[in-house]
Each structure stands twice: as structure tokens, then as C-alpha cells.
Chains A and B, each alone.
Chain A
Amino acid sequence: GENVEQHPSTLSVQEGDSAVIKCTYSDSASNYFPWYKQELGKGPQLIIDIRSNVGEKKDQRIAVTLNKTAKHFSLHITETQPEDSAVYFCVSGGGADGLTFGKGTHLIIQP
């Protein structure tokens, strides 16, 4: 089955700085790569997604990049704010068997 590796497991940045989370996947048939944010006590929520026919996508302070050849994708958050503190998951989606999650990155924004 699909395997998604996510790094780092914990990331601490100063408020206003940028944060980058990186993931790799194994299944070359995967074609959908969403990122989810999970706040304490809540279910994951989609923040941005990218499909395999696109190399980069941006939504305000959040951007994702995808390198299908290398099977890498990354999340970039600029001008981080306290409300960005949460756990972030990269996800790979291919066939009918749902979405495969990375193990998560705990992002801490230091004031």
C-alpha cells in the first residue's frame, strides 16, 4: 500500500517567520495531495490541496509544491501567526481506499 513520510515531527518557529513541512509518497498512481490542519480536540480540516497535473498552488499565506518525478510535496506557511499553531498532516490519495496520512507535524509558533 501507499506509504507517506512526513518531516519534521515538531517544528518551532518565531511568529512572522516561515514554516516548511516536507513529505514523500511511494505510490506513483497517487494523484491528489491535500493538507489537513488539526486543532486540539477537533477533527482534521482541509487547508489546501493540489492535484498531480499542477506543480504549485497558493492561497494567501499558504502554498504547496509537488514534484511528481521525485514523489515529494511540501507545505509552506509564510508570516506565521499564533493561530497557525496546530498539527498538520500531508495526505496522499489515489484509488478508492481513502487517503493515506503522514504521521503529522506539530507546528509551534513562538511569540
Chain B
Amino acid sequence: NAGVTQTPKFQVLKTGQSMTLQCAQDMNHNSMYWYRQDPGMGLRLIYYSASEGTTDKGEVPNGYNVSRLNKREFSLRLESAAPSQTSVYFCASSAYPGQGHTEAFFGQGTRLTVV
């Protein structure tokens, strides 16, 4: 079972470059999420999508865009990378709204460094 798959696992960008982080889930989940994790800060929600075709801002959306390409895939784009976006990025999915909140499944993470 693949679960949630993120690519790439590691990336180094120069300031001002752009890139797209890819995420796919094979559990037929409705909701998908992008979080960033910084030391001592826990996981903070960047964007989420409660269903195909809809996306909403989370706690820290500035500097990012997302696309819910279909039910399986949810991508995160950095248009002009900044050093403050150096972080570990996690994609997650859950069956919400289904029967209310249930377990969210996380990918392995993308470690991004912006120099």
C-alpha cells in the first residue's frame, strides 16, 4: 500500500527559483493538506482541499499556491522561493468530511532548502 506519496524527497533551490511539490494518495480520500514543519513550531497548515476542485488557505499560505488536479493529486507551488521557506513539507490526506474527522495519513516529507 503506497498511501501518500510525495516527490521529491530533497530539494535545494536558489532564492527566486520556482518549483512544484507533488503529492498523490491512493486511499480515495476527499481531503488533502499541505503542512510545513519548522523546528519548535509543530506542523502548520499551508493550504487544504476538502474536495476535488476546491482549495482554501490555512495558517501560513503566503508565498504558496496549490492545485487539486484530481481526487488523487494535490500539488504545492513556490513561485519565487525565499530562504524563509526552508522547511520540511508534508502532504496529508483524510476521509473528511465523510463521517467527520478521522485519521490523517502523512507522506514521508520533502526537505527543502532555499539558499
Contact = CB atoms under 8 A, between A and B. Distances in A.
Given A43-B106, A96-B56, A103-B40, A31 B101 contact: yes
B53 interface: no
B74 interface: no
Interface of A: 1, 6, 9, 31-32, 34, 41-46, 49, 89, 93-94, 96-104
Interface of B: 4, 31, 33, 35, 40-45, 48, 50, 56, 58-59, 90, 92, 96-97, 100-104, 106-109
A102 to B, nearest CB: 6
Given A49-B103, A97-B56, 7 more contacts: A6-B42, A41-B109, A98-B31, A98-B48, A98-B104, A100-B45, A101-B42
A98 B103 contact: no
A46 B101 contact: no
13 contacts: A9-B40, A32-B101, A41-B109, A42-B108, A43-B109, A89-B43, A96-B56, A97-B45, A98-B33, A98-B45, A99-B45, A100-B45, A101-B35
Main secondary structure of the interface of A (DSSP, over half): loop
Closest 5 CB pairs of A and B: A43-B106, A32-B101, A93-B101, A101-B42, A103-B42
Contacts of A99: 33, 45, 101, 104
Given A89-B42, A98-B45, A101-B44, A43 B107 contact: yes
Nearest to A100: B45
B54 to A, nearest CB: 9
Contacts of A44: 43, 90, 106
B58 A97 contact: yes
A104 B42 contact: yes
B42 A46 contact: no
A44 B109 CA distance: 10
Contacts of A42: 108-109
Contacts of A6: 42
Contacts of B42: 6, 89, 101-104
A39 B53 CA distance: 33
A9 B42 CA distance: 11
